[in-house]
Amino acid sequence: MSENKHYDAVALLSGGLDSILAVKVVEEQGLKVKCLHFTSPFFGKPEKVAHWERIHGLDIACVDAGRDFVDMLQNPPHGYGRFLNPCVDCKILMVSAARALMDQYGARCIVSGEVLGQRPMSQRRDTLNIIRRDAGVKDVLVRPLCAKHLDPTQVELDGLVDRERLLSISGRGRKDQMALARKFGLKEVPTPAGGCMLAELESARRYKPLLDLAGQGSFALAPGDFDLSNTGRQLWSGPHWLSIGRNKADNERITSLAREDDYVFKVRYFPGPLSLGRGLGDLGRAGWSVEMQRAAASVAAWYSSKARAADSEVRVLATRQGNSEEILVRPCKASGAGFAAPAWEGGEAPDAQEEEGPE
């Protein structure tokens, strides 16, 4: 798109302090920067982009990396961190995507807010070099905050970016970054916080059944599977998956995520949550047995407090592929089908590596 070809650089922007400062350091040299905010079911805050543009004076585009990220997540070449966070491969994916977008924006370099030694998995010297190599960006990737600790890239040698005005920040402290924030007059300074749900125990518990079942090779995961995992209560019985809303927002989200082959369970005559039943692989296409439908309906009814208090059988409406059927069940938290919340059984290695999310 020719109207976009007026930028000197594209930059990875998480919304964290380091990524904002990296852009400011380059813009201070007179370069025009297009910021790329990557989103997936696991990270990204597209709802904040307009706010960041307004208070920080940035030019930002959202990039949906969900499909590529889910494909990579099932077998990350450089492995996982403490839980299910593939931090090195995540950065390779985003930097590669930024490289692919350079021509669209007329950019000659990529800016990233990494700081040498700040994070134990993806910001060691060796992994910074691996990311640069595997993403194919050796000549164009600039890390303004720690550049003087690293070998110069070709765009620095060519003079597009003035290396003398780049920085030599390292380690986990924030003193230098806070000084930069004051220098640039940032109106809002982001606090350190986790940015990736894959690095959190609770989320890892939710996602692991999907990855385990997909690893058996019977079906392909989609971003929507992980969006559903992020919603409400999660219960599993083998490949049978039940998501139960906790509130109105969850119910609305479940409705929007329902697929044609899913079951949607709703207790009749009593207030209560929506529940979505999904079968993975061939099971999803073929549907559930009558016994499994009854078990799911019984569990769904348990989460309606008034239906549970009735202490009698209740009617649950089960809808699939536009067809609805009433199922008469007694609310029961522990159904005969064994629906249960997923557990994290991976443990933690003594040298467990933890990241805070994409910067």
- Both 189 and 210 in one domain: the answer is no
- Both 218 and 141 in one domain: the answer is no
- Both 184 and 215 in one domain: the answer is no
Domain that residue 61 falls in: 2-193
pLDDT of 52: 97
Question: Cα separation of 195 and 354, whole Å?
Answer: 12
* 70 closest CA partner among 102, 39, 100: 39
Q: Which helix or strand (DSSP H or E) is residue 263 part of?
A: strand 263-267
List Cα–Cα distances, 322 to 87, 146, 261, 266, in angstroms.
41, 57, 10, 14
First CA to last CA across the chain, in angstroms?
Answer: 27
Q: Residue 336 falls within a domain, yes or no? A: no
Write the CATH number for 99: 3.40.50.620
Domain closes at, from 193, 208, 235: 193
* 229 closest CA partner among 271, 262, 257: 257
Rounded to 5 degrees, φ, ψ at 335 are -75, 165
- Both 181 and 206 in one domain: the answer is no
- Both 81 and 135 in one domain: the answer is yes
- Both 163 and 20 in one domain: the answer is yes
DSSP code, position 96? H
Q: Residue 340 falls within a domain, yes or no? A: no
Over 70: is that where the pLDDT of 14 sits? yes
pLDDT digit string, tens, across residues 135-161: 999 999 999 999 999 999 999 999 999
Over 60: is that where the pLDDT of 55 sits? yes
Q: Which residue has the higher pLDDT, 353 or 169?
A: 169
pLDDT of 244: 97
**pLDDT band for position 75 (50/70/90)?**
very high
pLDDT digit string, tens, across residues 344-359: 875 443 333 334 444 4
pLDDT of 2: 43
pLDDT digit string, tens, across residues 288-314: 999 999 999 999 999 999 999 999 999
Q: Residue 312 falls within a domain, yes or no? A: yes
pLDDT digit string, tens, across residues 173-187: 999 999 999 999 999
Total domains in the fold of the chain: 2
Over 60: is that where the pLDDT of 269 sits? yes
